[in-house]
Amino acid sequence: MSTLLTLLDALDDRPQAVDLRERTYEALGDVVVDVGCGSGRAVGELAARGVRAIGVDADPAMVEVAAARWPDGEFHVADATALPLGDGSVTGYRADKVLHVLPDPALAVAEARRVLAPGGRAVLTGQDWDTMVIDSDDPARTRSIVHTRADGMPHPRIARRYRNLLLDHGFADVSVEVHALVWTDAAVLPVLANLGGDGAWLAEQEARARDDRLFVAVPIFLAAGTNSAGSR
């Protein structure tokens, strides 16, 4: 848990991540559920703006951390496919870096439509785990590391399907954007270590960081859609 929180905090503090988070908050209305809320950063930031922000996560330990960090938020332990909310009870739905770990992401999107009021906005964000750009002297090893990590997840390529998932579940005005998170400094080294790199490969990345020659880019997909007023 402590390692995961350290990685999440380091990522959340990056200026590019802050800007992207701001983008996800747009037009969510005054009652928002953040699914897979993790340590609660988005819930806390939304609550500070006068939004009724509801954080949901399947991990009780993470919800405990979130509630301690952001006492103005509302947090629940629940599955993304069975939210503790009534039909049409929220104006905004946000799921950031969560659908790739779910057994059936489509069920989560169906649940998003259930809890959203007509005209409510759903925002899905996350990376395609097959798509990570890392400059390296050993591209074959880099490709293997990236793909091995991706293959260990339930749905590593779900982000490229966000648009179709929203369309398949009756969302209208669906849009997709791609935002790149870029590192050229040692702050990304814990991320690379967590990716599965070790030995000579990680040592090369550490040397690149010392020599100011490190480059890592992660495209983040952001898809949004409006809950149409028709039947579910």
In a domain, 105, yes or no: yes
Q: Do the domain assignments include residue 162?
A: yes
Domain membership flag for residue 196: no
What pairing do the DSSP bridges indicate for beta strands 52-57 and 74-77?
Answer: parallel
Query: Digits of tens for pLDDT over the chain (232 positions)?
Result: 556 677 777 777 788 889 999 999 999 999 999 999 999 999 999 999 999 999 999 999 999 999 999 998 999 999 999 999 999 999 999 999 999 999 999 999 999 999 999 999 999 999 999 999 999 999 999 999 999 999 999 999 999 999 999 999 999 999 999 999 999 999 999 889 988 777 999 999 999 999 999 999 999 999 999 998 643 4
Beta strands 133-134 and 74-77 are unpaired
Number of domains in the chain: 1
What CATH number is associated with residue 30? 3.40.50.150
Strand partners, 116: 90
Rg of the chain (C-alpha set)? 18
With respect to residue 108, please indicate whether it lies within any of the assigned structural domains.
yes
Which range of residues forms the domain containing residue 112? Answer: 2-128+155-180+220-227
Determine the Cα–Cα distance for residues 143 and 19; give it in Å rounded to an integer.
Answer: 29
Residue 38 lies in a domain: yes
**Is residue 192 domain-resident?**
no
